[in-house]
Amino acid sequence: MTVPANSPAAVEAIGLTKIYGSGNTEVVAMKDVSVTLARGEVVALLGPSGAGKSTFLTAIGLINPPTAGRIVMGGEPVMDGARALVDLRAYRRKHLGFVFQKANLIPFLNAVENVAVAMEINDVAPRAARKRALELLGYLGVADRATNLPDALSGGQQQRVAVARALANQPSLILADEPTAALDSHRGRQVMELFRKVAHERGSAVMVVTHDQRSLDVFDRTCEMEDGLLRKG
Amino acid sequence: MNLAAKDIRHNFGRFALTAIGIGLLLMIVMGMGGIYRGLIREATLLIDNIGADLWVVQGSTRGPFAEISRVPASLEDRARAVPGVASARRFVSHTVQREHRGKPLRIVVQGLAWPEDRGNWIPLVAGRPLRQAHYEIIADRSLRLELGEKIELGKNVYEVVGLTSGMVGSGGDGLGFFTVSDAQAIQFDVPGEALRLERQSRRARVEAEYIGQVQPLLVERAVGSASGIPALAPPQVSAVMLTIQPGMSAATVAATISTWPDVTVYSTQQQKDLLLSGMVDKAKRQLGLFRVLLIIISTIIMALIIYTLTLDKIHDIAMLKLMGARNGVIVGLILQQALLIGALGYGLAYWLGTFAFPKFPRLVVIENQDLLTLAGIVLGISVLASLLGIGKAMRVEPNKILS
Ligand SMILES: Nc1ncnc2c1ncn2[C@@H]1O[C@H](COP(=O)(O)OP(=O)(O)O)[C@@H](O)[C@H]1O
Ligand SMILES: [Mg+2]
């Protein structure tokens, strides 16, 4: 995959600030954070607990509107402060993929259905969705568990199904918040390498929040947050 | 893929139990509507079939279907003399409860004006109409009498010669057709000792008068049968039914008879309306009230189950929203489940009804119109029941997935 040099950044966060609560309970979780992720780039987001990493990730994931700042995706302004400039849900299903510490699979759908549902809500025909979902499960090495319900899968298998789901609609931006925290280091590294592969092969931008120092070599670069501030990026 | 169906398969037990519960409630709702239709059909069966144009009943009463009506048997002859009347028949009807084969037996004793009326108009399922003036009965099946069975009423024994099906009075008791004279014999049957005492006291009263002492014939009449003394004879029939000559108007005949101060005259339609507005109307309101309550209960049960099923899925709904699912996907998930519970319940109610309704003690008549109406109501309550869950799901924020 080659990314044209002049193509707009996958996401551009400009001066994002998030304040939770008000008055005595006011918490400034993120202060004037500006980050740009290019397409095809894998970036690690580091920092101690409570630094504001999840706040930043969910802000650019369009599920947690910032108090101030702007978000531009693929050259298109999508958030101005807490105000949405586009249909956020439509934007999420077309352009974003999420992976969390927990797999958050839908318990009444089997592995392949969990992946296919993400495509069906994005208007992919059921047959095509299922076919592609099976391919993705194969790509992630869990094709043999396609018809198992999440309950019957190990934690690592569940997480790989969740990654397949995040990749389903070929998003331009994949956001992963401590995706390997529940996995052993071998499996964790596999998932990280997968993100790198996806970014480089498919041109998605990937940002991964992680505490795992040993797999940092997988990333193109790292950003670090502390006390709501971006220390280096 | 259909998310609602997948979730149901996952929660099958709870879902099936709810559908069964709703199904049983809907079956009762359906049955109550059927009982009401059955009441009307049973109540009007006799009036519709007996073939009368006008009913002459006791003055200022509503007729034998609404209350007690007594007119003298001779009214029949007076009515026959009215221009335009083709025929006049006595109508005798009363309910008796006797013991038969060790069990209580309630019969609506119905008199046929023998010999003109032998019951040829009665729809028989077995046997034949009456063939002799006495001691024969055409019985309804609900009385559980067999053809040829003998049954003792008063001082006589009657043989079942014909059977009907579904011919019952407004109280749900089976009809038994006798000749009028047999019907009266059953109605006015008095123990011999009571007769003797009555005659004794009559004799004492006559003999206490001077005229009684000088006229032995008078004493002889006084101690004879009551029907032999015109002033003492009880009015013995409930009503007189008239048919109108072809080409004559029932209204003209009715106008003539309504000038007689001792009777009131009704058309067949008026008799039906009186019957339906009286007893059947109360039953209708009673059944209607129960139906409304049961429908409300069904709605509440359904709403609670749909709500808890939704609460169980709230995390998954947040995930779907996070993945960008439109509201339609989420509303569809909840609404389809409610509709499916409603549809299954309705189908179950109908299916169970085909077994249960024939065993109900009263006739249950399920009409297509009522089935359609109930289907509409079930659709309505399913939608209503899902609103609580849908409201909850709509308020969920996608970032709830993080907590
Ligand atoms: N919903 C919230 N309401 C109030 N405070 C919050 C909320 N979410 C996070 N915070 C606070 O914001 C700060 C940053 O949190 P977070 O972004 O989760 O950090 P990290 O992911 O780096 O551990 C913390 O002090 C946390 O307590
Ligand atoms: Mg966090």
Asked if residue A11 has its Cβ within 6 Å of ligand 1, the reply is no
Which numbered atom of ligand 1 lies nearest the CA of A47?
22
How far does the CA of residue B316 sit from the closest CA of chain A (Å)? 6
Q: Is residue B247 part of a domain?
A: no
Q: Give pLDDT tens digits for B90-147.
A: 888 888 888 888 888 899 998 888 888 888 888 899 999 999 999 999 999 989 999 9
Query: Looking at residue B378, what is its pLDDT?
Result: 93
Q: Does the residue A2 lie in any domain?
A: no
Ligand 1 pocket, A230 CB below 6 A?
A: no
Q: Is B321 exposed, middle or buried (0-12, 13-18, 19+ CB in 10 A)?
A: buried
In a domain? residue B225: no
* Ligand 1 atom having least distance to the Cα of A225: 22
Specify the pLDDT at position A109: 96
Q: Cβ separation of A89 and B3 shorter than 8 Å? A: no
**From atom 24 of ligand 1, which residue's Cα is the shortest distance away?**
A50
Q: Tell me, what CATH number does A24's domain have?
A: 3.40.50.300
Q: How far apart are CA B119 and CA A41, in angstroms?
A: 99
Q: Give the per-residue pLDDT at B317.
A: 96
Inter-CA distances, B111 with A85, A215, B108, B148, B157, Å: 88, 103, 10, 20, 16
* Residue B12 within a domain: yes
CB A210 less than 6 A from any atom of ligand 1: no
| A89 assigned to some structural domain | yes
How far apart CA A57 and CA A66 sit, in angstroms, is: 11
Q: Which residues span the domain enclosing A150?
A: 11-232
Residue A6 lies in a domain: no
> Does B265 fall in a domain?
no
Q: How many domains, chain A?
A: 1
Instruction: Write the pLDDT tens digit of every residue in A104-133.
Output: 999 999 999 999 999 999 999 999 999 999
Predicted confidence (pLDDT) at residue B164 exceeds the cutoff of 80 = yes
Distance CA B98, CA A227 (A): 96
**A3 inside domain:** no
Residue A103 lies in a domain: yes
**For residue B322, is pLDDT > 70?**
yes
Atom of ligand 1 nearest to the CA of A48: 22
Q: What is the pLDDT of residues B18-47, one digit of tens each?
A: 999 999 999 999 998 898 888 888 878 888
Stretch B311-340: mean pLDDT:
94
Chain A CB contacts of B397 below 8 Å: 63
Pick the residue whose CA is nearest to atom 17 on ligand 1: A52
Tell me if B322 is assigned to some domain.
Answer: yes
Beta bridge partner(s), residue A28: A19
Q: Is A49 in the pocket of ligand 1 (CB under 6 A)?
A: yes
- State the Rg of chain B over Cα: 32
Please check whether residue A4 lies inside any domain of the structure.
no
Do the Cβ atoms of B10 and A108 come within 8 Å? Answer: yes
Q: pLDDT digits over B263-300, tens only? A: 999 999 998 888 888 777 888 888 889 989 988 998 99
Q: Chain B closest CA to A23's CA: distance in Å?
A: 23
Query: What's the pLDDT score for residue A219?
Result: 94
CB B250 within 8 A of CB B54: yes
Q: What angle do CA B373, B378, B384 make, to 5 degrees?
A: 130
Query: For B347-373, how does the pLDDT look when each residue is reduced to its tens digit (9 = 90+)?
Result: 999 999 999 999 988 889 999 999 999
Structural domain of B24: 3-43+281-402
Do B6 and A126 count as a contact with CB atoms less than 8 A apart? no
Judging contacts by C-beta atoms under 8 Å, the chain A residues touching residue B325 are 89, 93, 121
Count up the domains in chain B and report the number: 1
Domain assignment present for B189? no
Highest mean pLDDT among B99-103, B170-174, B215-219, B333-337: B333-337
Residue A28 in contact with ligand 1 by CB distance below 6 A: no
Q: Which residue among A54, A93, A126 sits closest to B324, beta carbon to beta carbon?
A: A93
Choose the mutation target among A121, A147, A174 for the interface with B, i.e. most B CBs under 10 Å.
Answer: A121
Nearest CA-CA distance, residue A60 and chain B, Å = 13
Half-sphere exposure of B265 (CA within 13 A, CB side): 20
Assigned domain for A75 exists:
yes
Distance, CA of B141 to chain centre: 16
Chain B: residue whose CA lies nearest to A177: B402
What pLDDT score does B376 carry? 95
Map B229-259 to HEC letters: CCCCCCCCECEEEEEECCCCCHHHHHHHHCC
- Does any domain span residue A48? yes
Q: What ipTM did this prediction achieve?
A: 0.94
B90 falls within a domain: no
Residue B180 falls inside a structural domain? no
| pLDDT tens sequence across B217-243 | 878 877 777 666 665 555 578 899 999
